[in-house]
Amino acid sequence: MSRDLAIDLGTANTLIHAREQGVVLDEPSVVALSVETGGLVAAGSRAKEMLGRTPGAVRAVRPLRGGVISEPDAAEQMLRWFTERVGMSSIVRPRVVVCIPSDITGVERRAVEETALRVGARRVYLVEEPMVAAIGAGLPVTDTQASMVVDIGGGSTDVAVIALGGIVASRSTRTAGDAVDEAIAEHVRRNLSLLLGERSAEDIKVKVGSAFPLATEVSTRVRGRDLVTGLPKTVDVGSAEIRRAIAAPVGTVIALVREVLDRCPPELAGDVLERGITLTGGGALLQGIDARMRHELGIPVTVAPAPLRAVARGAGRCVDDFAALQPVLVDGHRF
């Protein structure tokens, strides 16, 4: 029998949940392709190691940007490789649930659906990321009392207030983890005359990035290319400096949360004040992001357990129990 799958097709990482087995794949959303033939060279972790290091005959790309597919052919090859790794049957084709940002267009929805169908899905269901993030975080989405979730991914941030099994108010922005990386690289370039690669900027974010002052400030050593001499150069950067560098993207996310709260009905706003805000996604791992939101908004903020897998867990519950969670699914064939 074919196993139904849930796919969190993220800008930074792709996770696949197999029915009754849990998460069976967690790989970076990166693919390396031959320039001459367009054929697959590597995907996942191996391809990510190639970013910024490939020879002229190979290009390493991230086929999703801003939470949506930007290179359909590369995305299809990457997803095919991932589904083959988890043993998706080509004879008894599975049903597939795919997570999408809440504000993508009909054309972008269709691209996601067609990609999943081409790699072997029997039927594709689309579900909005903030809804499954809330389910994966264990929030009572069917209650009359509202819950608020902020899903900060690699390419997009989704904010939603959920009650009675539906999204009451939501907003999305393409400002997320990638924007933080870009802000770090731009700051280092402008202020330290050092050119960084994509992976180096991400390493700085993980090691010393913070959205709120730390009890003990830390620093790390960074290597890159000096823009003046063109030679390799090493500099030290501290958490306070990086906090200033990422102030703009962090401020955009908090402003989006404030905007959703402004649009929320008064009764549900009171529920959010009582229950607080739950953070999911890789961006929830940024040091001090919960403390910064508490400080700015005056509302309790908590980080979901294993926030990177919250969306995949929630989508996994959809495939584990289609009947119970059918109301939250959006049938892809409607678009």
Distance CA(221)–CA(44), nearest Å, equals 27
Question: Is there a binding annotation on residue 160?
Answer: no
Annotated ligand binding at 153? The verdict is: no
282 in a labelled binding site: yes
Q: Is 283 annotated in some ligand binding site?
A: yes
With both helix axes pointing from N to C terminus, report the angle between 177-192 and 247-263 in degrees, rounded to the nearest 10: 150
Q: Is 100 annotated as a binding residue?
A: no
Is 288 annotated among the ligand-binding residues? Answer: no
Does residue 77 contact residue 33 with C-beta atoms inside 8 Å?
A: yes
| Tally of helices (H runs) and strands (E runs) in the chain | 12, 19
Contact 67, 101 (CB under 8 A): yes
- Tell me if 156 is assigned to a ligand binding site: yes
Q: Outline where DSSP puts E strands in the chain.
A: 5-9, 13-18, 22-28, 31-34, 40-43, 58-61, 64-65, 68-69, 95-100, 123-128, 147-152, 157-163, 166-173, 194-195, 219-226, 232-238, 277-280, 301-303, 330-331
Give yes or no for a contact between 98 and 17, defined as CB atoms under 8 angstroms apart.
Answer: no
Quote the tokens at residue 77: 């090859």
Q: Confirm whether residue 178 is marked as ligand binding.
A: no
Is 154 labelled a binding residue?
yes
Helices assigned H by DSSP within 88-215: 106-118, 129-136, 177-192, 198-208
Collapsing DSSP to helix, strand or coil, 245 comes out as: helix
Does 276 carry a binding-site annotation?
no
Phi, psi of 20 (to 5 degrees): 65, 15
Tell me: is residue 13 an annotated ligand-binding position. yes
285 has binding-site annotation = yes
Q: What dihedral angle (degrees, nearest 10) is formed by the CA atoms of 294, 297, 299, 300?
A: -20
Annotated binding site: 11-13, 154-156, 202-205, 282-285
Annotated binding site for ATP: 11-13, 154-156, 202-205, 282-285
